[in-house]
Amino acid sequence: MKKLYLSLIALLAGIIVAQAAPNLKISCGPWIQNVTEDSFTVLWTTPEKTLSWVEVGEYDGSDWHQSSHPRHFETVSGRRTYGYFHSVKVTGLKKSTKYIYGIAGKVVTDDSNPYAIAYGPELAMRGTHTIRTLDYNAPTCNFSMVNDMHFNDAKYTALMSGVDRSKTDFIVLNGDIVSFSNSQDTLLKHTFMPIKDYAADFPVIFARGNHESRGSDWYLLPKAFPTSTGEFYYTFRQGPVAFVVLDAGEDKPDSSPEYSGQAAFDEYRLQELEWLKKAVESPEFANAPQKVCIMHIPTFNDPEAWYSQKWIADNFTPVLNKAGVKLMLAGHHHRYILAKPGEHGNDYHILANSNNERLDFSATASQITIRTYDVNGTLQHSLNL
């Protein structure tokens, strides 16, 4: 009896200690990237060097119990990694399934000895979030899109506050969310923190704008936005809609003095063009009832077009026409512009969204519906295709 009593005391003490354990400190995030039918990637940063992990389970509406779910770590060539920036890909999931996840970890207190790394205590999970995997066979596809925020966090937050969480599959950031990136902290602060309540629960689809390639830390951008190709051009699908996300790069010639001799976008766009020709022939894309292109700079082909806009209009448009793309969603011009098929050599509609409006997209196999709203939630434009 005494032994049982002591065991119960020890168990209760362990529960109390676990409940009293401090929460893991997170500087930014989490945010969700690269969601498919059977996987998703969770990213976050910590103020201290930390060995972190993600715990994931199917969400059934019940309370979360830490340590009752498998732990997923970031690994490189068979070794778990630790640091300040964390990116964990969770695989082996079911399509169209809602999962609950949380992040925990322990701070690295001393890694000077390669054979005996020292850690602090295991830190409790700071809150939980849910995420739903994609489903190629879903009857609908719904998302909200913003672009050209250029560090205006107040406007960014106001526009996104009108997103209907119950009807949203993902969020699209269509370029120039920042004007430059002189530090990774600046990029993350102005890209994810204004929408942290959405970025943790919905996939964030990112199309690079011309401004995101500027600044001393621009090269860290791919870490924050991992894609299926490892580039800023890729495809994905949700329900009846296949998407191709493209990257026009910078808007001026590589020789422009603003780029300080660092631009090589001509070669980059040529590689992208060859990839695009093959990507639109994949069954996942070619067999979709609806096909949409997302690109920051639109393929407007007019006398005032800047260098890269003219190039993508001449080179990407024929491929997109042949592929049967129905709609291009863009930004860049800071005003709402709608070009109908035939106006720029295009067989598809081109919609450049305003920098002062949120675009809400809804599609079935037979129709696409678009509505745009200002910061006050007032309807500005409607389009049915």
CA dist list (Å): 246 to 142, 148, 191, 205, 214: 20, 16, 19, 12, 18
DSSP run (H or E) holding 310:
helix 307-323
Report which DSSP code applies to 123. B
Angle between helices 307-323 and 265-279 (to 10 degrees): 10
Distance from the Cα of residue 210 to its chain's centroid: 17
Task: Show the tokens assigned to 31.
Answer: 């945010």
Can you name the residues that pair with 76 across neighbouring β-strands?
79
Residues 209 and 221: beta-carbon distance below 8 Å: no
Give the three-state DSSP class for 341.
coil
- pLDDT score, position 212: 92
pTM: 0.91
- pLDDT score, position 2: 46
Give the three-state DSSP class for 213.
helix
- pLDDT score, position 216: 86
- pLDDT score, position 272: 98
- pLDDT score, position 65: 63
- pLDDT score, position 320: 98
Q: Which among 45, 73, 87, 90 has a CA at the least distance from the CA of 223?
A: 87
Task: Reply yes or no: is the peptide bond before residue 30 cis, omega within 30 of 0.
Answer: yes
Count of H-run helices and E-run strands, the chain: 8, 21
Report which DSSP code applies to 292. E
Give the three-state DSSP class for 296.
coil
Question: Which phi and psi angles does 113 have, rounded to 5°?
Answer: -100, 110
Q: Which among 205, 31, 171 has a CA at the least distance from the CA of 101?
A: 31
Instruction: Mark the ranges of the chain whose per-residue pLDDT is less than 50.
Output: 1-18
- d(Cα 68, Cα 104) in Å, to the nearest integer? 13
DSSP run (H or E) holding 48:
strand 40-58
Which residues lie closer than 8 Å to 163 by C-beta, 6 or more apart?
A: 144, 171, 198, 358, 360
- d(Cα 358, Cα 366) in Å, to the nearest integer? 23
